Amino acid sequence: MTMRALLAVAFLGVSSASVTAQENWSFSKDGGEVAFVARHFGIQTAAGRFGTVEGTFAFDFDRPERSRVRMTIQTGSLRTGADLVDGFIKGQTMLDVAHYPVASFVSQQVVRTGERSLSISGQLTIRGATQPVTVTAIAESDPASVRAGGNLPFHASTSFSRAAFAIGREVNIVDDQVEIDIKGAISR
């Protein structure tokens, strides 16, 4: 799932500012973009974006280990810019969107790795298979400075093995690892 979205948001629990309790955040309107890149021998062979991504985020910036991230991606919302490629990736051999219309990420552990960066470990589910992944997320501003109704821009990244999710077993024109990139903003 090229769902950079998936995980996209582990990004926030970062500043040592004094937000003292867990707060609920959500994607801002048009606030999330999950993209993927597949390579073959280091050369990009496929890339695309998922148009429908939803997420709920409960962050405790003083104690990030209490934070939780849940994201879902509508796999049929994939767009690569080429109808033929979209059809192939959405097809039975790859994402099989007819049988698996949703991919998801649920965090299990959130750890602060810097003043505005997080490591978010959790479970990624694609095609009905669930595997552990770790997302690296970075808030682009101080979360404590975001007022109610304000936005916190972030970016996040991870990768996953196609083989672990039985995605395109017979497809040898892309490497096994798929990169996910998530960009967006969350709001209080």
Domain edges within the chain = 10-187
pLDDT score of 169 = 78
pLDDT score of 156 = 94
Which has the higher per-residue pLDDT, 86 or 61?
A: 86
> Is the whole model's pTM more than 0.85, yes or no?
no
Give the alpha-carbon dihedral of 153, 158, 162, 166, to 10 degrees. -70
Task: Give the tens place of pLDDT for each residue, 130-187.
Answer: 999 999 999 888 877 878 778 888 999 999 999 999 998 787 778 888 999 998 888 7
Residue that is written with structure tokens 């969350």 in the block: 186
- Taking residues 82-98, report their average pLDDT: 94
Locate the DSSP E strands across 60-176: 68-74, 78-79, 102-112, 117-126, 129-139, 151-161
Q: Which residues sit opposite 104 in a β-bridge?
A: 72, 125
Task: Give the tens place of pLDDT for each residue, 47-65.
Answer: 899 988 888 888 877 788 8
Residue 165 CA, chain-centre distance (Å), reads 16
- φ/ψ of 12, rounded to 5, equals -100, -15
Residue that is written with structure tokens 């595997």 in the block: 131
Report the CATH fold assignment for 10-187. Answer: Lipocalin (2.40.128)
- Taking residues 13-37, report their average pLDDT: 61
pLDDT score of 146 = 78
Helices in the chain by DSSP H: which ranges? 83-90
Decide if pLDDT at 89 tops 90. yes
d(CA 159, CA 134): 8
The two tokens of residue 148 are 């109610």
Decide if pLDDT at 7 tops 60. no
Which among 20-29, 49-58, 100-109 has the top mean pLDDT? Answer: 100-109
